[in-house]
Structure 1
């Protein structure tokens, strides 16, 4: 079986509204299921690839700060 997870995740969220995207992210985090992590990774990849250098710096600073707590 040839499963392209990246393509499947993108297919499933294409055309979603901002609210639907937020619901998807919040639900994946709140359920805490390990099987949701790859999908969140795909979403992060999309965000990262479509962010400016300044936005990437801000994300890294937020991540670094959160991991120091």
Structure 2
């Protein structure tokens, strides 16, 4: 069986508007279910590919801060 997870996720959200996309992200994060992680990864990949270098640097900076904050609360 050949399963293209990226394609399946993108196809599943292709018709979603901004509100629906945001709800998908918020729901996945709030539920904290491991099975949602691949979908969030695909969404991040789509964002990354559409971003310019400054936006990418801002995301990396935000990620660094988030990781630092998360590790101090462990």
Note whether the superposition's TM-score is higher than 0.5.
yes
Which residue in the other structure is 1:66 paired with?
A: 66
1:55 and 1:48 map into 2 onto residues whose CA distance is 8
**Is residue 20 from structure 1 mapped to residue 20 from structure 2 by the alignment?**
yes
SS at match of 1:3: coil
2:15 and 2:51 map into 1 onto residues whose CA distance is 19
String of CA shifts for 1:28-69, please: whole Å, max 9, x gaps.
111111010000000000000010000000000011111122
Which stretch of the first structure deviates more once superposed, 59-68 or 46-55?
Answer: 59-68
TM-score, with structure 1 as normaliser: 0.95
Which residue in the other structure is 1:47 paired with?
A: 47
**Regions of 4+ moved over 2 Å:** none
Relative contact order higher in (CA < 8 Å, ≥ 6 apart): 1
Structure 2, gaps ≥5 residues long: 70-74
Which residue in the other structure is 1:30 paired with?
A: 30
Structure 1, gaps ≥5 residues long: none
Q: How many residues align?
A: 69
